[in-house]
């Protein structure tokens, strides 16, 4: 992989890691600080992402072969962008939770905490994978994403059952499920990026 492309990808990933950490902080406490900081981080991610895409295009010859070379890199850049949108979605739901004073049960808090921590841990692997293109690491990421998906889907199903039984508060349900879905979206794109990274030519 081109060294400059690699460095720009890592910058985007580091921004995503920080933004997801801030989302977790915003979920755990009532402070406005994570929301304010996240706006600054989001702007940096968009800047780095735009620079990454522009650089890939500038490196790509105008021939058919050049366009084929650029496709996997642009696909990775697109997946990183969609991670940003998913994390933005978490913040939107956290704002709604705060504005409407929605409360989560202790069980729901624990479940969201569990998925948040796993998503953050998986995202932390991406910079290493970008720089090494290690197939064993990519395989492990894939196995762990699929395992966490089963857990998250189980949480959603159990939550819906509790909702039917009247244990859960209906007005909090869309926010709880929305946060889980957004976290799953982050992990889907982590999985996609990891698979594409190891199919690229080795780093230059």
Burial environment of residue 144 by CB neighbours within 10 A (0 to 12, 13 to 18, 19 or more): middle
Q: pLDDT at position 159, please?
A: 87
Structural domain contains residue 203: no
**Complete DSSP assignment for 58-76:** HHS-SSHHHHHHHHHHHHH
pLDDT of 201 reads: 80
pLDDT of residue 34: 95
Q: What is the pLDDT of residue 197?
A: 94
At 170 the pLDDT is 79
In whole angstroms, give the CA distance from residue 155 to residue 191.
21
Sign of the CA dihedral 54, 1, 148, 150? positive
Within a domain: residue 81? Answer: yes
CATH number of the domain encompassing residue 75: 1.20.58.220
Give residue 162's pLDDT.
Answer: 80
> Does residue 204 form part of some domain?
no
Confirm if 137 and 176 have CB atoms less than 8 A apart: no
Would you state the pLDDT for residue 118? 96
Residue 168, phi then psi, degrees to nearest 5: -95, 155
Question: How confident is the chain (204 residues) per 10-residue block, as mean pLDDT?
Answer: 92 98 94 94 96 92 79 95 97 93 89 96 96 95 95 92 78 92 96 94 64
Cβ 97 vs Cβ 175: under 8 Å: yes
- Look at the chain and report how many structural domains it folds into: 1
For residue 202, being part of any structural domain is answered with no
Residue 95 lies in a domain: yes
Whether the CA torsion 186, 85, 112, 118 is positive or negative: it is positive
Q: What pLDDT score was predicted for residue 203?
A: 56
pLDDT score recorded for residue 62: 76
- Please check whether residue 88 lies inside any domain of the structure: yes
Q: How far is the C-alpha of 82 from the C-alpha of 203, rounded, in Å?
A: 24
Output helix, strand, coil percentages for the chain, rounded to the nearest 5: 85, 0, 15
Write down the pTM of the prediction: 0.92
Residue 42 is part of which domain span?
3-197
Tell me, yes or no, whether 33 lies in a domain. yes
């Amino acid at each position: 992989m081109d060294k400059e492309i690699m460095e720009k990808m890592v910058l985007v990933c580091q921004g995503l890691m920080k933004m997801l950490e801030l989302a977790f902080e915003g979920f755990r406490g009532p402070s406005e600080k994570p929301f304010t900081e996240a706006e600054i981080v989001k702007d940096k991610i968009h800047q780095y992402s735009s620079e990454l895409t522009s650089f890939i295009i500038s490196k790509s010859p105008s021939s058919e072969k050049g366009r084929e070379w650029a496709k996997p890199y642009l696909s990775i850049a697109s997946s990183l962008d969609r991670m940003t949108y998913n994390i933005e979605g978490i913040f939107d739901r956290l704002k709604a939770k705060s504005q409407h004073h929605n409360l989560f049960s202790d069980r729901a808090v624990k479940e969201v905490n569990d998925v948040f921590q796993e998503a953050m841990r998986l995202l932390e692997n991406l910079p290493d994978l970008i720089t090494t293109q290690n197939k064993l690491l990519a395989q492990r990421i894939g196995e762990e994403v699929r395992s966490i998906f089963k857990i998250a889907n189980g949480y959603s199903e159990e939550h819906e059952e509790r909702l039917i039984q009247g244990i859960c508060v209906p007005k909090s349900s869309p926010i709880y499920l929305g946060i889980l879905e957004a976290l799953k979206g982050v992990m889907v794109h982590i999985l996609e990026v990891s698979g594409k990274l190891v199919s690229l030519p080795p780093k230059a």
